[in-house]
Each structure stands twice: as C-alpha cells, then as structure tokens.
Amino acid sequence: MQTTTIIEQISFSSGSLRLSGILAYPSDREPEKSILLCPPHPHFAGDMENNVIQYLANYFAKDSVTLRFDYRGVGKSRIDLPSGTSVFDYWQQVENNMDYRDALEDVQSAAEELLSSTQCLPCIVIGYSFGAATGFRYGIKAGPVSILIGIAPPIGKVDFDFLNSCTKPCLIISGKDDFLYTSDQLEKFRLSYTNRTTLDIWENSDHFFRGEEEKLAIAIESFIYEKLNEAGKE
C-alpha cells in the first residue's frame, strides 16, 4: 500500500522577515525523521521548486517530515533592501563576497521551524549546491542535527576546510562532470574532511542531476538508514 502525504504551505520568521516553505509528511503513519532541504543559490535555479530539492522532499515525505524553503527575496519569501538595490543585486553580492550570514540565518530559522514540532525525531540536513555550503555550516554546529548530506557542493568556489572538524556522519555526492570544480580542486577538497565524511563521485553526472533524482534519493536513503542504525547500536 502506497503511503499518501500531506503537503502544507507555511511561512515562518527569519529575523524581521517572513519566509515561505513547504512541509510534507505521511498521512497514515508516524514519521521517523525530520529532514531540512536547503536549495541552491537563487541565480542557479535556487528555489524550493528545484528539481533535486522538490523530488527529495516528496520522496522522503513517505516516512519523514520534510521542510523545503525559499531564501529571502526568492518566491514568496520577503526581503528588505535599500532603495535602488534589486533582489538580483543582493544575491550577486552574496555570491561575490561569499557573505552567507543572511542565508545562514534563513537556514537556522527553517531548521527551528522544523524542529519545533519534530524534536523527538532524528534531524537530517540535505543541501544542494549553494545549499550544501549553507546546510553544512549550520548543521555541523547544530546539536539536533545528526546527519549531513551535500549534493554537488561548490567545492571550486567555497572553502570547505571547516569539514575537518566535522564529527557527524556526512555524505557528499558530486558528478565527475560538475562544472564547478577542476580535478585539482577535487583533490584539495579530499584533504579537507575527516573520516566521518563519505565522498561519492558519480561518473557521467554533472552539477544538475536531471533524470537522476530517484537515484540520488535511494543513495541518500541508504546512507541515512545505515548511519541511524549504527547510532542505535552505540
């Protein structure tokens, strides 16, 4: 019997702003996990309707509470900007300066919204592209988060040296043909994390994983259950 899911449009606070999100969860069983999904940069198909984010949110809602959301200024999420500054300009500055403070506030606020009703459940953070950078930066320090997943992290653009202090199980899936890094940058990245991190490079895959969403979901699901089972035996 196939599980049906309930989908709720929600809004929540991030500082003085209201952000938009979508909760999904099973209608006929108690959820086993809570999963936060962090989307890519808004200039690179970065919203909660992204093919990877949307698919994973719906896939895991069969047995989990999932929350996907839009960063400030994206979709229905609000943003306050100085006169003469466009949302495009704002996000371009974030990209140019790698100043993730606002995005991290949005991720933390989304996580707190999710955790407010699922505190007793294991919490997993899944981030795609830019969302891997924000999700990792939040989740590595957040006590309630037990597992981290990064899909196509921008390892050629962002310094991930902070992963060398990660004590949580972490899975990173990237395509060998991803345009965001070179082979030299990949080798440097391999030196930046601990043995708690698993790096899985997929042959013949690029940054976008179009048509491979189900394969991603199955790989992530397998990792999550393996690590949760290990934790339960400790």
Helix (H) or strand (E) holding 71: none
Give me the mean pLDDT over the 6-18 stretch: 97
170 token code pair: 């972490």
Q: What is the pLDDT of residue 88?
A: 95
pLDDT digits (tens, 9 = 90+) for 82-120: 999 999 999 999 999 999 999 999 999 999 999 998 988
25 token code pair: 């969860």
Strands 145-151 and 123-128, how do they pair? parallel
Provide the domain count of the chain: 1
Q: What is the band of 192 on the pLDDT scale with cuts at 50, 70, 90? A: confident
pLDDT digits (tens, 9 = 90+) for 114-159: 999 898 899 999 999 999 999 999 999 999 999 999 999 999 998 8
**Residue span of the structural domain in which 115 resides:** 5-233
With CA atoms as reference, report the closest residue to 87 among 107, 71, 99, 105: 71
Q: Which residue has 């699901």 as its token pair?
A: 221
Q: What is the CATH number of the domain that holds 194?
A: 3.40.50.1820
With CA atoms as reference, report the closest residue to 139 among 164, 163, 172: 163
Give me the mean pLDDT over the 157-180 stretch: 92
Sequence-distant (≥ 6) Cβ neighbours of residue 216 within 8 angstroms: 52, 55, 56, 151, 173, 209
DSSP 3-state of 25: strand
Q: What is the pLDDT of residue 45?
A: 77
Give me the mean pLDDT over the 189-207 stretch: 91
Q: What is the pLDDT of residue 234?
A: 63
Residue 230, pLDDT above cutoff 90: no
Amino acid at 4: T
Residue 233, pLDDT above cutoff 80: no
